[in-house]
Amino acid sequence: QKEVEQDPGPLSVPEGAIVSLNCTYSNSAFQYFMWYRQYSRKGPELLMYTYSSGNKEDGRFTAQVDKSSKYISLFIRDSQPSDSATYLCAMSPPPGSYQLTFGKGTKLSVIP
């Protein structure tokens, strides 16, 4: 079993839809959870990070972590064509190791 599983998609939604992106993980040592957005042929861009279980909101984006289920989500409200990108989840282990573990990414297309 891979440490981080992420559905590669592709996911295609109409403009204005609510998008739900998800990752599951197996290593309970992961403590910090991040979402990156990567446009085609560009570097990943950090969107959000969370530490504990619960929700964190930033504009149209909400990150949700459920440590008991080892499940994290990113919700995008009122999706826009400019949100079309690949979204990667990433997880950080306890202090002492700076290495992130990435999911393979979900490709999202928002259709006008």
Partner 1 sequence: DSGVTQTPKHLITATGQRVTLRCSPRSGDLSVYWYQQSLDQGLQFLIQYYNGEERAKGNILERFSAQQFPDLHSELNLSSLELGDSALYFCASSAGGAPPYEQYFGPGTRLTVT
Q: What's the closest the beta carbon of residue 17 comes to partner 1, in angstroms?
A: 26
Contact 58, 50 (CB under 8 A): no
Q: What's the closest the beta carbon of residue 83 comes to partner 1, in angstroms?
A: 18
- Residues numbered 72-91 forming contacts with partner 1, rule: CB under 8 A: 88, 90
34 binds partner 1 (CB under 8 A): yes
Per-residue binding string, partner 1, 4-33, x by CB under 8 A, is ---------------------------xx-
Q: What's the closest the beta carbon of residue 59 comes to partner 1, in angstroms?
A: 18
- For 15-98, strand residue ranges (E) read 19-25, 32-38, 45-50, 54-58, 61-66, 71-76, 85-92
What stretch of H or E contains 102? strand 101-102
Contact 31, 93 (CB under 8 A): yes
Q: Please tell me the distance from the alpha carbon of residue 11 to that of residue 62, in angstroms, as a whole number.
A: 18
Interacting residues toward partner 1 by CB under 8 A: 31-32, 34, 36, 41-46, 49, 51, 88, 90, 92, 95, 97-100, 102-105
